[in-house]
Chains A and B, each alone.
Chain A
Amino acid sequence: MALLQVEDLRVRYGEVAALNGVSLHANKGEFVTLIGANGAGKSTLLRTISGLSRGYRGTISYQGSRIDRLPVHNIVSHGLVHVPERRSLFPDMTVAENLKLGAYRLKDKSSFPSKMAQVLDYFPKLEERKYQLAGSMSGGEQQMCAIARGLMLGPELLLLDEPTLGLSPLLVGMLGKIMKTLHGQGLTIILVEQNAHLALSLADRAYVLERGAIALEGTGKELASSDSVRKAYLGL
């Protein structure tokens, strides 16, 4: 049984259809990536999984039970953590406070110090910036802080929406390594990326989303060698 199973999901914003029947799944421990053009519906898909948006049809099951009608905070407490593309930090709080609040729903409070040490080890930059207000950091630093905050809860499934957006090539490389490490430790990841090279090299399995529907599915290798993907997303 898949950890996450999405069936025939349909979402619209008023009259605008954003998802027209998307089905996908992620198995436990799998690294799934999602690529697609601007406006294809990638963010909408993640937002609907985490409960920020609602579909009008279709189902979302997580760990075998339906979550598509649960409130966001309830979904989070099951270990499904979403790091959205737009800034989600608390700008007038310090980095340390943001990270601490990230562990708000942590069930085993005694693991808090080790979680904190762990994410600061992943993102040493945040250690330096611990007492700086989150809103006063650069876009890239905020991005790292948002991911770090998402990890504080000790997620089972991590939804990442364009985490490399606005990061320097050096940091993109670093983030790639961190995602690989997390995956190696057994975390299930669904990654949305514009950077198709990175996405397909990391992925166990990947989906191409076009105009609100899944156009292609395959292993990272398969998609990287597919003609249409090479033309449309890898610029080859």
Chain B
Amino acid sequence: MRSIQYREALREALSEEMRKDPNIFLLGEEVAEYNGAYKVSQGMLDEFGAKRIIDTPIAELGFAGIGVGAAMNGLRPIVEFMTFNFSLVAIDQVINAAAKIYQMSGGQFNIPMVFRGPTGSAGQLGAQHSQAFENWYANCPGLKVVVPSNPYDAKGLLKSAILDNDPVIFMESEQMYGDKGEVPEEEYYLPIGKAVIKNEGTDVTIVSFGKIIKVVYQAAEQLAKDGISVEVIDLRTVRPIDYDTIIESVKKTNRLVIVEEAWPLASISSEITYMVQKNAFDYLDAPIRRVTTEDTPLGYAPTFVQAFLPSVDKVVKAVKSVMYR
């Protein structure tokens, strides 16, 4: 099968859907003439023209809200945030408008739109440019939150997100845009809300999502050498969460580690921990462990980046602790 970059997979998803439905348009900073800050929309201005690939001023609150309004009136906007750090300028329109209007209007106005862009840390960028807000958005009813970890998932999930009739937060990563992976030529869609088992195993389940799952794969390889068989679940979506797949796996392995690039308090890992202890308490042979980022802002120096993020070592340690080894 051919191999393409994550950013190309996203571009294909956008372009394929835009070719089919003239109501879909893309709007954000530097998406058109500059071909995207991270080159996701490269060439799309040429194909679709300035009416559908729209450069905005640096005015996130305004253009996010304009997107919501357009969605109320029958269009299917895709709003790009240059990074989700900047979505905080716009979060009022996401939470108070996009996520609420369908319910407030008694089901009259749905918001078929996508807010997308990179999330999480991307090297030494300092505290304001290194944040992961998956759990913030996932906390809010009315939204769906998708966090694909590879090109194949990115394409299939973005196509589904664009066709979804509810607002979808679609979170990518600066550090994944260049990643290559196999993506079929023919069109396909992946279901929002379904996790995938990436690595079958018998001793311990590791649940993760987004770019940090790469650390999990490395840890799993290392653990395999120690004779520990790891089952890796890629959530793909963090609202809704596919609890069934997690619980089924835990019933088999009896041990769970959750790896997440986010601050620990009220995170996706805390939520999963609650649901697993509630629904599979008798199956657990050890307390659930998690590896998150540290409970601090991320500083610029490389020593901070290293200490802050989930690492192979931290994951291996957590797994060994649930294995009592």
- Is chain B found bound to chain A in the same assembly? no
